[in-house]
Homo-oligomer: A and B are copies of this chain.
Amino acid sequence: MRAKDAEALRATAASAVIVPLAIETAAMPVIRVRDPYLAAALIHNYLLETPFLATGVHAQAHVGDDTVVPEQISIAPLAVIGNRVRFGQRVTIEAGVVIGDDVQIGDDTRILANVTVRHNCLIGCRVCIHPGAVIGSDGYGYATDNRGYHVKRPQVGIVQIDDDVEIGANVCIDRATFGKTWVKSGTKIDNLVQVAHNVVIGENCLLVSQVGIAGSSTLGRNVVLGGQVGVAGHINLEDGVMASAQSGIVKNQARGLVIGGTPTMPMIKFARVVAALAKLPAMVTELRRLRQEVAGLQGEKKEIISKEQDRV
């Protein structure tokens, strides 16, 4: 342990601390773990766990026809539930939520304030959707006629959200043209992300805030996209691809590639390009100078040759 860390440890009022396996200290009780960050998250979650509190359907909520509401549910005031909605156990629906007709929602899922889930969408178990998110709005698809008018293509598919997905505030996930837009289990989506129609996002992906994924692209497992990354349509990102913030992905990316830039290149190359970019104005000057010097050499060379010839 570094002296500074030992100092910080002594200063804390904690009666025990979680430390990496390598740490040996007698200063206070320690819990040695392989990954303290992960252990702290698991322990914190455990301590915060509270049993589900079913408050039923509030009198100021609205529930549509043929929607069966289980006993173990909490529907807040001013939530609106459509017709034929099917709920799992221990679902929480906060105020201002609007659920369309024929939606299915799995066990222990929480749909927070002012979220909209449109008709026919499927939401898994232990999903959390943060305020203002919109699930199942129409995909953006038009056919343009020869006068330049855009004719809407009907968007008759759905959105399917699998188990343990978390969806950030004001995220938009569009329904498919046909079939489904699909977010697979364990994926975590940050605020203000756009997922277009017919996109498929694999298991355990991380999409940081303001990412945009265009239509019909597919992501494998554990893909990580930094903030404000854009993915073009009909692109395939294989398992484990990682893209740095603000990059623009316009081509398929092979398994595990780490990429950056617009359009993207391998991260190592991107770092070199960025370093070289700073030198670009100096390169313009240097190139001009070289041109003059080479021209000079060519002139003098001609002179030398002509002198040679004179002599000969």
> In the complex, A188 Cα to B56 Cα: how many Å?
40
Contact assessment for B278 and A280 in the assembled complex, using a CB-CB cutoff below 8 Å: no
Specify which chain B residues have a CB less than 8 angstroms from the CB of A132 in the assembled complex. Answer: 114, 116, 132, 134, 170, 172
Contact assessment for A191 and B62 in the assembled complex, using a CB-CB cutoff below 8 Å: no
CB distance from A23 to the nearest CB of B (A): 18
Which of A6-14, A24-32, A65-73, A289-297 lies at the interface with chain B?
Answer: A289-297
CB distance from A253 to the nearest CB of B (A): 16
Chain B residue at minimal CB-CB distance from A204: B148
Contact assessment for B298 and A287 in the assembled complex, using a CB-CB cutoff below 8 Å: no
Specify which chain B residues have a CB less than 8 angstroms from the CB of A194 in the assembled complex. Answer: 190-192, 209-210, 227
Interface size class of A (residues with CB under 8 A): 35 or more
Given that A134-B132, A140-B188, A169-B134 are contacting pairs, would A278 and B265 also be in contact in the complex, using a CB cutoff of 8 Å? Answer: yes
> In the complex, A212 Cα to B77 Cα: how many Å?
33
Does chain B have a CB within 8 A of A277? yes
CB contact between A80 and one of B42, B95, B278 (< 8 Å): that residue: B95
Does chain B have a CB within 8 A of A221? yes
Does chain B have a CB within 8 A of A15? no
CB contact between A188 and one of B112, B116, B142, B208 (< 8 Å): that residue: B142
CB contact between A95 and one of B98, B206, B297 (< 8 Å): that residue: B98
Specify which chain B residues have a CB less than 8 angstroms from the CB of A40 in the assembled complex. Answer: 143, 153
Interface positions of A (Cβ within 8 A of B): 35, 37-38, 40-42, 44-45, 48, 58, 60, 62, 76-78, 80, 94-96, 98, 100, 112-114, 116, 118, 128, 130-132, 134, 137-138, 140, 142-146, 148-154, 156, 166, 168-170, 172, 174, 186, 188, 190-192, 194, 196, 204, 206, 208-210, 212, 214, 221-222, 227-228, 230, 232, 245-246, 248, 250, 262-263, 265, 269, 272-281, 283-284, 286-287, 290-291, 293-294, 297-298, 300-301, 304-305, 307-308
Can you name 19 extra interface pairs (CB under 8 A) apart from A279-B284, A301-B301?
A: A41-B151, A42-B143, A60-B60, A78-B78, A100-B113, A112-B118, A112-B137, A118-B131, A132-B132, A140-B190, A140-B209, A148-B204, A172-B209, A210-B212, A273-B281, A276-B281, A283-B287, A297-B298, A297-B301
